[in-house]
Amino acid sequence: MKNTVKFQTPIIIVNFKTYLEATGRKAVELAEKAEKVTRETNVCIAVAPQFVDIARVAHAVEIPVFAQHIDPIKPGSCTGHVLAEAVKEAGAVGTLINHSERQLKLAHIDATVKLARETDLVSCVCVNNPSVSAAAATLKPDIVSIEPPELIGTGVAVSKAQPEVVTDTVKLVRGINPSVTILCGAGISRGEDVRVALKLKTQGVLVASGIVKAKDPYSILREFADSTKQ
Amino acid sequence: MKNTVKFQTPIIIVNFKTYLEATGRKAVELAEKAEKVTRETNVCIAVAPQFVDIARVAHAVEIPVFAQHIDPIKPGSCTGHVLAEAVKEAGAVGTLINHSERQLKLAHIDATVKLARETDLVSCVCVNNPSVSAAAATLKPDIVSIEPPELIGTGVAVSKAQPEVVTDTVKLVRGINPSVTILCGAGISRGEDVRVALKLKTQGVLVASGIVKAKDPYSILREFADSTKQ
Amino acid sequence: MKNTVKFQTPIIIVNFKTYLEATGRKAVELAEKAEKVTRETNVCIAVAPQFVDIARVAHAVEIPVFAQHIDPIKPGSCTGHVLAEAVKEAGAVGTLINHSERQLKLAHIDATVKLARETDLVSCVCVNNPSVSAAAATLKPDIVSIEPPELIGTGVAVSKAQPEVVTDTVKLVRGINPSVTILCGAGISRGEDVRVALKLKTQGVLVASGIVKAKDPYSILREFADSTKQ
Amino acid sequence: MKNTVKFQTPIIIVNFKTYLEATGRKAVELAEKAEKVTRETNVCIAVAPQFVDIARVAHAVEIPVFAQHIDPIKPGSCTGHVLAEAVKEAGAVGTLINHSERQLKLAHIDATVKLARETDLVSCVCVNNPSVSAAAATLKPDIVSIEPPELIGTGVAVSKAQPEVVTDTVKLVRGINPSVTILCGAGISRGEDVRVALKLKTQGVLVASGIVKAKDPYSILREFADSTKQ
């Protein structure tokens, strides 16, 4: 593992989901583009490839690699589940938890955040609205990321379309947990969306199709990174 | 990918589950022991490592590599799910489906078997009793594997303790599907268990702790392989 | 309990789902309309109200009352689950199982069908396509009901729009289980849809919005019942 | 509906689970014993029977009746689910949410609490440990009830065996939500357990087997009620 680039804010996390454009060899290529932007701009970009691609991506790049999910399990008889220790050994330095496409029971989010802490994985709990973001913040993850499900994949940015969702989240979360990193996501597709997200006092964005499905992911990522400095 | 050893019966499938003894570097080592036995005996042994270890294991050995699970999804917005195309590109040639520790809704088993067929992955549907084995057989997977959950991990072999479960399964499944491969599992820990399983007209075994937790996995695997010839 | 009308084919099962038009007092009123049609035509109509309305409906009418779901559990520590014995005591004589809006794991369908048999409840397993209908038929429920999910609630009848789905189901299911009752559903909204369904060798229909959301449920039910005789 | 006894603290909620001793006719009898104790002691006792028994119990007694669960759904196409409006019309005045035997995704707990509020049902969110209790408290339910799962059904009371779990919960929850009612449960089987629970600054208990499986539920309930006054 070579993830030598430090996790720092502002941060852009690129969720590869199960897009064919970001599977296998193409996952490595996309991660390399992200790494190139990080090298050029010194802005932290993390990538979250599929489970089977974590090792290959983590071997190829020095930027932070996240799992898309881990299960609240201990080593043992859990066929078909995702073990924190295994993603860690494969080279991941963090994990998404409770993404809207992979939601967990509340007690399992709690257990998974604790497990990530024990395994020394950065935990990013995804939430759908301000009240749930406050609930997540009490569990002391490293990152809370607010993504209104109805905007995911639309290209309509949460930071533009629903700024009050972001500001309510920041207010509620900060009241409970002053140190957690707050991201927003859903529809983020232009540098301007990133700039507004930071202006609303988040510390970065969680993005997927805006990068993965872009004609030129490198250019958009570069635009995102540059926008964090404006 | 180098999985050049043909899938043939009798077959021994070793499920690595989420055992630390079969995670990461140790997954590769265990797969290499299985490959050694295959080379020495010409008996087909397949291994089912965790998702994150599939690529590494498939790169290291020439025996068949199975995923422990795939999701009934198409490429796209399925964060934290397991895409057939991704495990295929990582080097898997087959997948377990509906393991008792990762059970699926009936319609999802149907969809997953069809997906495996389209993706050219060998499908092994795991079932808990004879009536469910018959239901699974109607879906035309490549393999049906019967594992009474109450015996999993006990060291008490299904082929010895509940031979009627195996013979009922074989009878019901054969009445519906003459060509499907039938395996049995749960508690398989000695060569004798394998010999009896084949005598009961299964074509192999699905094994986990009996190998993974063994002091000397190579010796037990060799004993298993030799027993298929008795 | 007064369910003295015998379960017989052809049968029309009306699923009340969670429609407000079929909740509480209105559930009783709708069941009474179904009972009226049964009295006038001697065609068996069963109703499947919500759990909380089973007792009230079963007390008010003599036609068969079904639960919409039961859980594969034994009496005991299962807070929030639906116990077969409890729906039976409340007056239900049967239950839907695995409706597309309440799907179960395969092993749970098997366990629930067995539980219904032990509790003397008529079991109606809902399925989404012909291959799944065959799988369900091996489990020996009393009824298999095929409902392509994409047509549910559309008013476009499966028997008209996808007759091959119905005929394939009948063929596959009859090859496995000569005695199971076969129903079809999804989009059934006119008497003609019912007539075609029976012509395709099903023995009745499972209907929901076509009756529950109708301006005059009595008239449509009467039309359905009359159509079974043409 | 006659639930004319006001919801007030201290409160004892009796969860009937799916015990045969509290199903159907016996559910009514047990509720009547609870009502008798309320009349004698003026201590608020609520009962949570199975869904199918809500209407019958609510009709028979004047004490508060809770559902054991409701689903985060709107009226419509949700076969086999539990609609807030339906349990309300059946006579329930509140509902358990996220019981350890019926856990929900975090976003669903949030949606269900909001739904209960809109439907004018008292919401009681069950939690397994102090950190999860804090998360639940941010969602502003009426009641948070802490029940360590490992003590449920043991007869070993949480208030005696793990007082620090209760005090940690009270401290964390009060820091977030000064007005929420806090209960504790698991293993509560003697009046002394209730007395200690209140001393630890909870406002009541959630109990199941301690009452339902008791030889003389009336006597134990009376002992519980009397203990709230010591």
Contact yes or no for B207/C207 (Cβ under 8 A): no
The C-alpha R_g of chain A, in whole angstroms, comes to 16
pLDDT in tens, A141-155: 999 999 888 877 787
Instruction: Indicate the SS3 state at residue C111.
Output: helix
Q: Calculate how close chain A gets to B230, using CA atoms only, in Å.
A: 31
Region C150-162: mean pLDDT is 80
Which chain C residue is nearest to residue D70, measuring alpha carbons? C80
DSSP C213: T
Region C27-53: mean pLDDT is 97
In a mutational test of the C interface, the residue from B104, B132, B171, B180 whose CB has the highest number of chain C CBs within 10 Å is: B132
Which chain D residue is nearest to residue C212, measuring alpha carbons? D76
Domains in chain A: boundaries: 11-227
Among candidates D18, D86, D209 on the partner chain, residue whose Cβ is nearest the Cβ of C86: D18
CB environment D128-142: b (16+ within 10 A), e (fewer): bbbbbbbbbbbbbbb
* pLDDT of residue B4 exceeding 70: no
Rounded CA-CA distance A29/D16 in Å is 57
* pLDDT of residue B8 exceeding 90: no
The predicted structure's pLDDT at residue C1: 37
- Number of Cβ within 10 Å of residue A213's Cβ equals 17
Q: Is A120 exposed, middle or buried (0-12, 13-18, 19+ CB in 10 A)?
A: exposed
Q: Is B229 exposed, middle or buried (0-12, 13-18, 19+ CB in 10 A)?
A: exposed
* pLDDT of residue C2 exceeding 80: no
- Contacts with A150 from chain D: Cβ below 8 Å: none
The predicted structure's pLDDT at residue D159: 79
Region C3-31: mean pLDDT is 90
The predicted structure's pLDDT at residue A230: 78
Take residue B72 and report the two structure tokens written for it.
Answer: 């009934």
Rounded CA-CA distance B106/B139 in Å is 10
The predicted structure's pLDDT at residue A6: 61
CB of A219 within 8 Å of any CB in chain D?
Answer: no
Q: Calculate how close chain B gets to A119, using CA atoms only, in Å.
A: 14
Among candidates B135, B172, B176 on the partner chain, residue whose Cβ is nearest the Cβ of C106: B135
Take residue A89 and report the two structure tokens written for it.
Answer: 């050994």
Rounded CA-CA distance C90/D23 in Å is 9
Chains C and A touch (3+ CB pairs under 8 A): no
Quick one: angle between helices C217-227 and C191-199, nearest 10?
30
List of residues 6+ apart from B33 with CB closer than 8 A? B217, B218, B221
Closest-CA residue to C98 (of C44, C32, C144): C144
The predicted structure's pLDDT at residue B105: 98
The predicted structure's pLDDT at residue C155: 79
DSSP C190: S
- Contacts with C99 from chain D: Cβ below 8 Å: 79-80
Contact yes or no for D129/A110 (Cβ under 8 A): yes
**A2 — pLDDT class (breaks 50, 70, 90):** very low
The predicted structure's pLDDT at residue D1: 37
| Whether D135 and A131 lie within 8 Å, measured CB to CB | no
Which chain C residue is nearest to residue B135, measuring alpha carbons? C135
- Contacts with B105 from chain C: Cβ below 8 Å: 98, 103-106
| β-sheet with D44-48: strand ranges across | D44-48, D11-15, D204-207, D181-185, D143-146, D122-127, D94-97, D66-67
- Number of Cβ within 10 Å of residue C27's Cβ equals 26
- Contacts with D109 from chain A: Cβ below 8 Å: 106, 135
Percent share of chain D, pLDDT over 90 = 85
Q: Which long-range contacts (CB under 8 A, 24 or more apart) does D113-120 make?
A: D113/D139, D113/D140, D113/D141, D115/D70, D115/D72, D115/D84, D116/D70, D116/D84, D116/D141, D116/D142, D118/D84, D119/D84, D119/D85, D119/D88, D120/D88
Contact yes or no for B70/B95 (Cβ under 8 A): yes
Question: Chains A, D: CB contacts under 8 A, how many?
Answer: 73
Question: Chains B, C: CB contacts under 8 A, how many?
Answer: 73
* pLDDT of residue C59 exceeding 90: yes
Rounded CA-CA distance A68/A90 in Å is 13
Q: Which residues of chain D have pLDDT under 50?
A: 1-3
- Kindly report the backbone phi and psi dihedral angles of residue D18, in degrees, each rounded to the nearest multiple of 5, phi listed first: -115, 35
Rounded CA-CA distance D127/D135 in Å is 9
DSSP A156: -
| Whether D51 and C24 lie within 8 Å, measured CB to CB | no
Tallying the residues shown for chain A, one arrives at 230
pLDDT in tens, B89-118: 999 999 999 999 999 999 999 999 999 999
| Whether A52 and B50 lie within 8 Å, measured CB to CB | no
| Whether A139 and D129 lie within 8 Å, measured CB to CB | no
| Whether D81 and C18 lie within 8 Å, measured CB to CB | yes
User: Would you call B21 a catalytic residue per the annotation?
Assistant: no
Bridge partners of residue C127, in order along the sequence: C146
The predicted structure's pLDDT at residue D44: 96
- Contacts with A99 from chain B: Cβ below 8 Å: 79-80
* Angle (CA) D125 D127 D128, round 5°: 165
Region B16-45: mean pLDDT is 97
pLDDT in tens, A105-115: 999 999 999 99
Which chain C residue is nearest to residue D23, measuring alpha carbons? C86
In a mutational test of the B interface, the residue from A20, A30, A51, A74 whose CB has the highest number of chain B CBs within 10 Å is: A51
Judged by average pLDDT, the poorest of A133-142, B13-22, C74-83, C187-196 is C187-196
* pLDDT of residue A5 exceeding 70: no
Q: Is A80 left (phi over 0), alpha (psi -120 to 50) or beta?
A: left
Bridge partners of residue B124, in order along the sequence: B96, B143
| β-sheet with C44-48: strand ranges across | C44-48, C11-15, C204-207, C181-185, C143-146, C122-127, C94-97, C66-67
Neighbouring subunits of C (3+ Cβ pairs under 8 A) = B, D
Chains C and B touch (3+ CB pairs under 8 A): yes
Rounded CA-CA distance C204/D79 in Å is 19
| Whether D138 and A98 lie within 8 Å, measured CB to CB | no
| Catalytic option among A35, A69, A147, A223 | A147
Judged by average pLDDT, the poorest of A147-161, B67-81, B110-124 is A147-161
Instruction: Indicate the SS3 state at residue D143.
Output: strand
| Whether C53 and D102 lie within 8 Å, measured CB to CB | no
Rounded CA-CA distance C223/C207 in Å is 13
pLDDT in tens, C4-13: 556 789 999 9
**B6 — pLDDT class (breaks 50, 70, 90):** low
Note which residues in 4-63 of chain C have CB less than 8 A from chain D: 15, 17-20, 23-25, 48, 50-56
Neighbouring subunits of B (3+ Cβ pairs under 8 A) = A, C
E strand or H helix that includes residue B160: helix B158-161
The predicted structure's pLDDT at residue D151: 77
* pLDDT of residue C205 exceeding 80: yes
* pLDDT of residue C79 exceeding 70: yes
Q: What is the pTM of this model?
A: 0.95
Closest-CA residue to A224 (of A202, A186, A196, A200): A196
* Three-state SS sequence of A89-137: HHCCCEEEECCCCCCCEHHHHHHHHHHHHHCCCEEEEEECCHHHHHHHH
What secondary structure does DSSP assign to B5-57, as a single string? SPP-SSEEEEE-TB-GGGSTHHHHHHHHHHHHHHHHH--EEEEE--GGGHHHH
How many H-runs (helices) and E-runs (strands) does chain C carry? 10, 8
The predicted structure's pLDDT at residue B48: 98
In a mutational test of the B interface, the residue from C101, C126, C138, C180 whose CB has the highest number of chain B CBs within 10 Å is: C138
Closest-CA residue to C45 (of C63, C26, C18): C63
In a mutational test of the D interface, the residue from C16, C57, C77 whose CB has the highest number of chain D CBs within 10 Å is: C77
- Contacts with C108 from chain D: Cβ below 8 Å: none
- Contacts with A82 from chain B: Cβ below 8 Å: 50-52
CB of D131 within 8 Å of any CB in chain A?
Answer: yes
Take residue C73 and report the two structure tokens written for it.
Answer: 């559990």
Which chain C residue is nearest to residue B134, measuring alpha carbons? C138
Rounded CA-CA distance C195/A39 in Å is 70
- Kindly report the backbone phi and psi dihedral angles of residue C101, in degrees, each rounded to the nearest multiple of 5, phi listed first: -95, 0
Among candidates C20, C80, C101 on the partner chain, residue whose Cβ is nearest the Cβ of D77: C101
- Contacts with B69 from chain A: Cβ below 8 Å: 79-80
What secondary structure does DSSP assign to C4-19, as a single string? -SPP-SSEEEEE-TB-
Q: The domain D11-227 is classified under which CATH number: 3.20.20.70, 1.20.1050.10, 3.40.640.10, 3.40.50.2300?
A: 3.20.20.70
Q: Max alpha carbon distance in chain C (Å)?
A: 50
